[in-house]
Amino acid sequence: MKLQDKVAIITGAASGMGKAIAEGYAQEGAKVVVSDLNFEGAQTVAQAIIESGGEAVAIQTNVASEEDLQHLFEETKAKYGKIDIVVNNAGIMDGMEPVGEVSNERWDRVFSINTTAVMQSMRLAVEEFQKQGHGVIVNNISAGGLYGARAGAAYTASKHAVVGLTKNTAFMYADQNIRCNGIAPGGVETNIGTSMTNMSQFGFSRQQLGMGINPRTGKPEEIAKLAIFLGSDDASFINGQVIAADAGWTAY
């Protein structure tokens, strides 16, 4: 198995791509920490993994809280003694607002979860990885981090920032056996749309212009397969890359 005895933290793992990644990691032999603000959902995912013969624990985490993130890492170390892989998957959408419509409140909330939380999680991860001499970070970013019209201004900017953060981190620690890569999914069948409120009709109409060239939507399990690869030793020579998984949508 590709991840035998690895300890992996996965944020936003109660549903969607995070859930699929947690399940996929467990199937490949990892000990999985199912982290989510939705504790009941996280417990359900962890219990299903355990019932399938895997090893998992659920930890409630508000990634926008640095204290919660510290607790997540401390509890993982207390439970399993180490951390090998951190998958930063938690994120929210904006309301498709262009810059002329975005409020300070929306901007700050999107950045707190999509960008600042990822940085803080990565900072904690790097601290552990430097102590033990190895580690892998996988950031689930979005095609919105590569192109300009997959969402509104706040989401797009927040994800572009994580692309830069991923590449910078990969280079900075490349000689310390620490890898950092990203995934840029296109349209995937998840419930992230429920985080969209007060949607801009103008922004939505502009964003929709590119949907006609989207070959198809993806399944969370398809993204999980890429996350498994990037977390495993099969990807030992891959560092600082953001890989699009979108059926060719961004090839146009």
Instruction: Give the 3-state DSSP-derived string for 49-115, with helices as H, strands as E and coil as C.
Output: HHHCCCEEEEEECCCCCHHHHHHHHHHHHHHHCCCCEEEECCCCCCCCCCCCCCCHHHHHHHHHHHH
Burial 188-207 (b: 16+ CB within 10 A, else e): bebebeeebeebbeebeeeb
Q: How far from 56 is each of 50, 51, 126, CA to CA, in Å?
A: 6, 10, 22
Per-residue pLDDT of the chain (252 residues; tens, 9 = 90+): 999 999 999 999 999 999 999 999 999 999 999 999 999 999 999 999 999 999 999 999 999 999 999 999 999 999 999 999 999 999 999 999 999 999 999 999 999 999 999 999 999 999 999 999 999 999 999 999 999 999 999 999 999 999 999 999 999 999 999 999 999 999 999 877 777 788 999 898 999 888 889 999 999 999 999 999 999 999 999 999 999 999 999 998
pLDDT of 90 reads 97
The SS3 call for residue 121 is helix
Torsional sign, CA 216, 219, 221, 223: positive
Burial 15-35 (b: 16+ CB within 10 A, else e): bbbbbbbbbbbbbbebbbbbb
131/11 Cα distance (integer angstroms): 22
Q: Supply φ then ψ for residue 83, to 5 degrees.
A: -140, 120
Q: Which of 223, 237, 228 is nearest to 4 (CA)?
A: 228
Torsional sign, CA 126, 161, 208, 201: positive
For tokens 């950031």, name the residue: 139
pLDDT of 72 reads 98
Do 67 and 124 form a contact (C-beta atoms < 8 A)? no
Count of residues in the chain: 252
Q: Find the catalytic residue in 25, 155, 173, 252.
A: 155
pTM: 0.96
138/27 Cα distance (integer angstroms): 18
Active site residue 155: yes
The secondary element (H helix, E strand) that includes residue 7 is: strand 7-11
For tokens 């981190």, name the residue: 169
Query: What are the structural domains, with CATH classification, of the chain?
Result: 7-251 (3.40.50.720)
Burial 104-124 (b: 16+ CB within 10 A, else e): eebbebbbbbbbbbbebbbeb
Both tokens of 74, joined, read 């401390």
